[in-house]
Amino acid sequence: FAYPLLNLARLSFDETVDGGVLVETWSLASYRELLSDAFYGELTLNSLLIAIEASTAAMLIGYPVALCLYRTTSRWRGLLIVLAIAPLLVSSVVRVFGWLVILGDRGLINALLASFGLTAGPVRMVYNWTGVIVGLTEGILPFVVLGQLAGFGRLDRSLEDAADTLGASPWRRFRAITLPLSLPGLMLGWMIGFIISMSAYVSPRLLGGGRVFVLAT
């Protein structure tokens, strides 16, 4: 694990000549170009914003799912966890093309909106920032749920039962006990989603339609 990271760090000090060939040396030329070019700054900012938005959305969507899976005593718990991560069995490219069909101008969502008379024309949900966030959120959701499950170790049902016995309302019990104890899981899931989103290529490239630029693209 450490060797490829150290090797990549070493390569960052090489110089690039015509044709993209790396010349082995010790130089800060690449770092000077990175810091002085506004385009790289824009790409970095776009990547950060997309990663923050997608990982936050996945964290909020996945939290009730992970909490339910963690608490359930059903004999089908293992199957339910498998179902939660089942999207990983399908290629990310295939899933993105599925979102193109669902979110497209003539897709399922626009057809429903038009049938209820809610829109006069198609709502653009692909080849823009919105499409990238939707596709990326769905893509990282299984990882976020698994991360949250792994971080719920401090969650103790007996403390919630004690709060019930003392007359706490469900909202107060959640706010004072469940949420603070599950914060490590929330943050772990968010961090995993953020890391994956920062390096995502397929969703920004296809759902962005060449209009959303990030570091990976």
What is the reported pLDDT for 20? 79
What is the reported pLDDT for 16? 85
Please give the chain's pLDDT, 217 residues, in tens.
999 999 999 999 999 888 878 889 999 988 998 889 899 899 999 999 999 999 999 999 999 999 999 988 889 989 999 999 999 999 999 999 999 999 999 899 999 999 988 888 889 999 999 999 999 999 999 999 999 999 888 888 889 889 989 999 999 999 999 999 999 999 999 999 999 999 999 999 999 988 999 999 8
Query: Which residue has tokens 């990976």?
Result: 216
CA distance 54 to 158: 34
What is the reported pLDDT for 98? 94
What is the reported pLDDT for 3? 96
Region of 179 on the Ramachandran plot (φ > 0 left; ψ -120 to 50 alpha; else beta): alpha
What is the reported pLDDT for 73? 86
CA distance 193 to 143: 7
